[in-house]
Amino acid sequence: MLIRRAIEHSCDNVSIIFDFFAGSGTTGHAVINLNREDGGSRKYVLVEMGEYFESVLKPRISKVIYSKDWRDGKPVSREGVSHILKYLRLESYEDTLNNLSLRRTDVQGNLISSNAALREAYTLRYMMDFETKGSPSLLDLGAFEDPFSYTLEVARGDQTRPETVDLVETFNYLLGLTVSRVYSAGGFRVVEGTDPAGDDALVIWRNTREKSDDDLGAFFDAQNFAARSFDRVYANGDNTLALKTGEGGPKVHLIEEEFQRLMFEAEGV
């Protein structure tokens, strides 16, 4: 009740409520119930790093969406709400370290082991940018051939298993894109939206092993994208879309290059 009262007295019915220590989901529960009672359109953002996210927080939010009242783990009524629940799992520091792949040749190893001065300098400087280049957590650009199957080894308890990374969603966040439409057609994934500068952007993803540059060009023509008022076009894999947009048309960017730049350039990596 305390969280509910705090929201009632400090927010209107269209506010966005942030809780960076979500715990068991009390804030989300309160927001959903308030919207149910007064027809409000409040939104909530919950952040939690506890292991009970899957076992407590997410199930609680799902249950209160489905029904207002529960008893002994069963819904008492079917008084649910129309609701979209989206959750993101961010890469952790441990996941990043676990996905660093060191590549050292025999020549490098012999030089380091036989030369004390070189070994000291190497140890102090690590040379991580060289030996770990292409690691999954540092962006394996070769894996962008099939961007829908990009994986990282993620620890869950005592086990580590490969989990698929949503590169499409990640790129949207890197661009700061306000997404207006996402859809799949003909083996392509398309995102339309507006970037922070107010430019209209079009992002086209494909499995380049299955969809050639000619396929991409045909899809671009079939969707009549050249006639749309996009300021920027992004596509993965080598392509000739710039020829289709023509002089004075939208700027065409390679997703792999922009991904790399947005992830690392600002950090000086």
- pLDDT one-digit tens code per residue, 248-258: 789 999 999 99
Place of tokens 């008084």: 79
CA atoms of 197 and 59, how far apart (whole Å): 38
191 vs 135, more confident:
191
User: Can you give the residue ranges of every domain in the chain?
Assistant: 2-75, 93-167, 168-267
Kindly state the average pLDDT of the residues 40-58: 91
Query: DSSP H helical segments within 76-212, as ranges?
Result: 93-98, 106-114, 116-125, 128-131, 167-175
Q: What angle do CA 187, 193, 195 make, to 5 degrees?
A: 130
The answer to whether 147 touches 236, Cβ cutoff 8 Å, is: yes
Highest average pLDDT, of 63-77, 93-107, 148-162, comes from: 63-77
